[in-house]
Amino acid sequence: MQSLFITATGTNVGKTHTTLQLIQGFAKRGLKVGVYKPVETGVEKLAQDATALLDACKKVNPHFKDFSTEDITAYTFALPAAPFCADTKHTIDIQHIIDTYNTLKKTCDILLVEGAGGLMVPITQDFLMIDLAQKLQTKVLLVTPSRLGCINDTLLSMEALHSRHMSFDWCVNLFEEKEQFKEVTQPFYDERFPDWWSVDEGLQRFISTYGL
Protein backbone atom coordinates (compact mmCIF):
# COMPACT_ATOMS: atom_id res chain seq x y z
CA MET A 1 0.00 0.00 0.00
CA GLN A 2 1.67 3.20 -1.17
CA SER A 3 0.94 6.90 -1.65
CA LEU A 4 2.01 9.63 -4.02
CA PHE A 5 1.85 13.36 -3.25
CA ILE A 6 1.19 15.48 -6.34
CA THR A 7 2.35 19.06 -6.00
CA ALA A 8 3.42 21.86 -8.34
CA THR A 9 5.47 25.01 -8.56
CA GLY A 10 2.30 27.02 -7.93
CA THR A 11 -1.40 27.22 -8.61
CA ASN A 12 -3.03 26.50 -11.99
CA VAL A 13 -0.03 24.48 -13.17
CA GLY A 14 -1.75 21.15 -13.79
CA LYS A 15 -1.93 19.09 -10.60
CA THR A 16 -5.52 17.93 -11.16
CA HIS A 17 -4.91 17.28 -14.86
CA THR A 18 -1.94 15.11 -13.93
CA THR A 19 -3.71 13.34 -11.08
CA LEU A 20 -6.64 12.40 -13.32
CA GLN A 21 -4.24 10.73 -15.73
CA LEU A 22 -2.51 8.97 -12.85
CA ILE A 23 -5.84 7.54 -11.72
CA GLN A 24 -6.45 6.03 -15.14
CA GLY A 25 -2.86 4.83 -15.53
CA PHE A 26 -2.62 3.04 -12.19
CA ALA A 27 -6.11 1.57 -12.66
CA LYS A 28 -5.02 0.05 -15.98
CA ARG A 29 -2.32 -1.77 -14.03
CA GLY A 30 -5.04 -3.41 -11.95
CA LEU A 31 -4.72 -1.20 -8.88
CA LYS A 32 -7.58 0.19 -6.80
CA VAL A 33 -6.74 3.88 -6.81
CA GLY A 34 -7.80 6.32 -4.11
CA VAL A 35 -7.71 10.12 -4.09
CA TYR A 36 -7.35 12.70 -1.36
CA LYS A 37 -7.50 16.49 -1.60
CA PRO A 38 -6.55 17.56 1.94
CA VAL A 39 -7.52 21.21 1.47
CA GLU A 40 -9.35 22.94 -1.35
CA THR A 41 -10.01 26.66 -1.40
CA GLY A 42 -12.18 28.78 -3.68
CA VAL A 43 -15.14 26.52 -2.93
CA GLU A 44 -18.50 28.27 -2.99
CA LYS A 45 -20.88 25.40 -3.64
CA LEU A 46 -18.80 22.80 -5.44
CA ALA A 47 -15.24 21.64 -4.75
CA GLN A 48 -14.26 21.43 -8.40
CA ASP A 49 -10.93 19.64 -8.06
CA ALA A 50 -12.22 17.14 -5.50
CA THR A 51 -15.32 16.48 -7.61
CA ALA A 52 -13.27 15.75 -10.73
CA LEU A 53 -10.94 13.46 -8.80
CA LEU A 54 -13.76 11.62 -7.06
CA ASP A 55 -15.74 11.11 -10.27
CA ALA A 56 -12.70 9.51 -11.90
CA CYS A 57 -11.92 7.41 -8.83
CA LYS A 58 -15.46 6.05 -8.57
CA LYS A 59 -15.00 4.43 -11.98
CA VAL A 60 -11.98 2.41 -10.87
CA ASN A 61 -12.44 1.76 -7.14
CA PRO A 62 -15.73 0.39 -5.75
CA HIS A 63 -14.81 1.56 -2.25
CA PHE A 64 -15.23 5.17 -3.44
CA LYS A 65 -18.64 4.72 -5.09
CA ASP A 66 -20.59 5.98 -2.09
CA PHE A 67 -18.10 8.69 -1.12
CA SER A 68 -18.87 12.40 -1.38
CA THR A 69 -16.36 15.20 -1.84
CA GLU A 70 -16.54 15.76 1.91
CA ASP A 71 -15.12 12.27 2.39
CA ILE A 72 -12.01 12.94 0.30
CA THR A 73 -11.30 16.44 1.61
CA ALA A 74 -10.40 17.40 5.16
CA TYR A 75 -11.19 21.10 4.69
CA THR A 76 -12.77 23.37 2.08
CA PHE A 77 -12.95 27.15 2.16
CA ALA A 78 -14.72 29.75 0.06
CA LEU A 79 -11.86 32.24 -0.28
CA PRO A 80 -9.54 31.39 -3.22
CA ALA A 81 -6.32 31.78 -1.27
CA ALA A 82 -3.68 29.83 0.60
CA PRO A 83 -5.35 27.57 3.18
CA PHE A 84 -4.06 29.62 6.13
CA CYS A 85 -5.52 32.80 4.64
CA ALA A 86 -8.76 31.13 3.52
CA ASP A 87 -9.21 29.64 6.99
CA THR A 88 -10.30 32.91 8.56
CA LYS A 89 -11.56 31.18 11.71
CA HIS A 90 -8.38 29.12 12.12
CA THR A 91 -10.17 25.79 12.16
CA ILE A 92 -7.50 23.67 10.46
CA ASP A 93 -6.21 20.83 12.59
CA ILE A 94 -3.21 19.05 11.03
CA GLN A 95 -4.00 15.85 12.91
CA HIS A 96 -7.45 15.76 11.27
CA ILE A 97 -5.78 15.98 7.85
CA ILE A 98 -3.49 13.10 8.77
CA ASP A 99 -6.32 11.02 10.25
CA THR A 100 -8.37 11.44 7.06
CA TYR A 101 -5.34 10.37 5.04
CA ASN A 102 -4.95 7.22 7.13
CA THR A 103 -8.65 6.39 6.75
CA LEU A 104 -8.62 6.76 2.97
CA LYS A 105 -5.39 4.81 2.67
CA LYS A 106 -7.20 1.69 3.90
CA THR A 107 -9.58 1.77 0.92
CA CYS A 108 -7.07 1.52 -1.92
CA ASP A 109 -3.84 0.07 -3.25
CA ILE A 110 -2.38 3.49 -3.92
CA LEU A 111 -3.60 6.84 -2.58
CA LEU A 112 -3.00 9.92 -4.72
CA VAL A 113 -2.78 13.03 -2.56
CA GLU A 114 -3.19 16.31 -4.42
CA GLY A 115 -1.79 19.36 -2.68
CA ALA A 116 -2.97 22.95 -3.00
CA GLY A 117 -0.78 25.47 -4.78
CA GLY A 118 2.94 24.94 -4.41
CA LEU A 119 5.25 23.43 -1.83
CA MET A 120 5.63 26.52 0.32
CA VAL A 121 1.92 27.31 0.58
CA PRO A 122 0.96 27.72 4.25
CA ILE A 123 -1.68 25.38 5.63
CA THR A 124 -1.37 26.91 9.08
CA GLN A 125 0.92 29.65 10.33
CA ASP A 126 3.83 27.28 10.81
CA PHE A 127 2.93 24.23 8.68
CA LEU A 128 3.46 24.32 4.92
CA MET A 129 2.35 22.02 2.11
CA ILE A 130 5.87 20.58 1.95
CA ASP A 131 5.60 19.80 5.66
CA LEU A 132 2.47 17.76 4.96
CA ALA A 133 4.15 15.77 2.19
CA GLN A 134 7.07 15.09 4.51
CA LYS A 135 4.80 14.18 7.42
CA LEU A 136 2.91 11.67 5.28
CA GLN A 137 6.23 10.15 4.16
CA THR A 138 5.09 9.85 0.56
CA LYS A 139 7.05 10.12 -2.63
CA VAL A 140 6.43 13.45 -4.38
CA LEU A 141 5.61 14.17 -8.00
CA LEU A 142 6.37 17.80 -8.84
CA VAL A 143 4.43 19.23 -11.79
CA THR A 144 6.04 22.25 -13.44
CA PRO A 145 4.65 24.67 -16.05
CA SER A 146 5.87 25.48 -19.55
CA ARG A 147 5.45 29.23 -19.41
CA LEU A 148 8.30 31.75 -19.36
CA GLY A 149 9.88 31.82 -15.90
CA CYS A 150 9.28 28.17 -15.16
CA ILE A 151 13.00 27.35 -14.89
CA ASN A 152 13.32 29.51 -11.79
CA ASP A 153 10.16 28.08 -10.25
CA THR A 154 11.22 24.52 -11.02
CA LEU A 155 14.72 24.89 -9.57
CA LEU A 156 13.42 26.57 -6.41
CA SER A 157 10.93 23.76 -5.83
CA MET A 158 13.62 21.15 -6.43
CA GLU A 159 15.92 22.93 -4.01
CA ALA A 160 13.23 22.85 -1.32
CA LEU A 161 12.72 19.10 -1.78
CA HIS A 162 16.45 18.37 -1.90
CA SER A 163 17.05 20.39 1.27
CA ARG A 164 14.71 18.04 3.14
CA HIS A 165 16.08 14.91 1.50
CA MET A 166 12.65 14.10 0.10
CA SER A 167 12.24 11.54 -2.67
CA PHE A 168 10.63 13.09 -5.74
CA ASP A 169 10.23 12.96 -9.48
CA TRP A 170 9.16 15.85 -11.68
CA CYS A 171 7.50 16.51 -15.01
CA VAL A 172 6.48 19.39 -17.23
CA ASN A 173 2.86 20.07 -18.05
CA LEU A 174 3.19 21.35 -21.62
CA PHE A 175 0.21 23.66 -21.80
CA GLU A 176 0.87 27.39 -21.46
CA GLU A 177 3.20 28.92 -24.08
CA LYS A 178 3.82 25.43 -25.41
CA GLU A 179 5.46 26.52 -28.66
CA GLN A 180 7.69 29.11 -26.98
CA PHE A 181 8.80 26.48 -24.45
CA LYS A 182 10.89 24.73 -27.11
CA GLU A 183 13.03 27.83 -27.54
CA VAL A 184 13.03 29.65 -24.18
CA THR A 185 13.08 26.75 -21.70
CA GLN A 186 13.68 23.34 -23.25
CA PRO A 187 17.36 23.99 -24.17
CA PHE A 188 18.21 24.31 -20.48
CA TYR A 189 16.25 21.23 -19.47
CA ASP A 190 17.82 19.23 -22.30
CA GLU A 191 21.28 20.21 -21.10
CA ARG A 192 20.78 20.03 -17.33
CA PHE A 193 18.11 17.31 -17.10
CA PRO A 194 18.35 15.18 -20.28
CA ASP A 195 15.84 12.68 -18.83
CA TRP A 196 13.14 15.28 -18.19
CA TRP A 197 9.65 14.28 -19.30
CA SER A 198 6.27 15.80 -19.94
CA VAL A 199 2.91 14.74 -18.55
CA ASP A 200 1.61 13.78 -21.98
CA GLU A 201 4.64 11.79 -23.10
CA GLY A 202 6.20 10.35 -19.96
CA LEU A 203 3.48 9.70 -17.40
CA GLN A 204 2.81 6.12 -18.43
CA ARG A 205 6.52 5.31 -18.13
CA PHE A 206 6.55 6.88 -14.68
CA ILE A 207 3.57 4.76 -13.66
CA SER A 208 5.17 1.58 -14.94
CA THR A 209 8.39 2.22 -13.01
CA TYR A 210 6.86 3.57 -9.81
CA GLY A 211 7.82 0.45 -7.93
CA LEU A 212 4.49 -0.98 -6.88
Other CB atoms within a 10 A radius of the CB of residue 198 amount to: 16
Which entry of 28, 37, 139, 178 is annotated as an active-site residue?
37
Question: Is 37 a known active-site residue?
Answer: yes
CB contact set of 41 (below 8 Å; sequence gap of 6+) = 76, 77, 78, 79, 80, 81, 82, 83, 86, 116
The residues annotated with a catalytic role in the active site are 37
